[in-house]
Amino acid sequence: MMPAMPIMILKPNARAAIELPWRSSPRANFDWLKDVCGERTRPEYDKQSKRFLVARPRTRHVLEALVDEYGEVLVHQFGHAATTCVEACWGANPDNAIDCVCGCAGLNHGSGHPLGTQVAPGLSVHQELTEVTYLVTANGTTALT
C-alpha cells in the first residue's frame, strides 16, 4: 500500500529508506529522486520493502525537497541506546538486584555473565535500537514519539 505522505526511515549505518506516494508511472518517483539527488547519486529501489534507498549524506537535501513537493514528511529516526553492566553486578547475588547501581538497573544482576558484549575486562555493553518519529513540515519539525 502506498503511503499518503512520504515516509523517510533513517537507521544507523544504513542508507535512507524512502516510501513515496504513487506518481503517474512506475518510474516517475525514481526519476524525481534522481533529479533531486543529482547525477552523482544513484537511488536504488528495494522491491522487497518497496522503498527507495538514498545515500545518507543526501538525506537533508532529499528531506527538504520532499517537504517542498508534498508539504509534510513522516521521519522514523532510529538510534542505539546503550546499557552498561559491570562484573561486580553480573557476579553478585541475584537476590540483591534492588541494590544494583550499574547501568543495567538490576536487569543482569547475579546472572553470572556479561550483558551484551564485553568491551573491556569487567565491563559489558548492550545496545538496543530506539526510534523517534517526527513530522517535518515547512514550519518545522515535531516529535511524535
Q: HSE on the CB side for 77, CA within 13 Å?
A: 16
CB 29 within 8 A of CB 65: no
Q: How many Cβ atoms sit within 10 Å of the Cβ of residue 84?
A: 16
- What's the pTM? 0.79
3-state secondary structure 37-80: HCCCCCCEEECCCCEEEECHHHHHHHHHHHHHHHCEEEEEEEEE
What pLDDT does 91 receive?
A: 95
Instruction: Tell me the mean pLDDT in the region 136-142.
Output: 93
Condensed to tens digits (0 to 9), the pLDDT of residues 34-70 reads 999 987 878 999 999 999 999 999 999 999 999 999 9
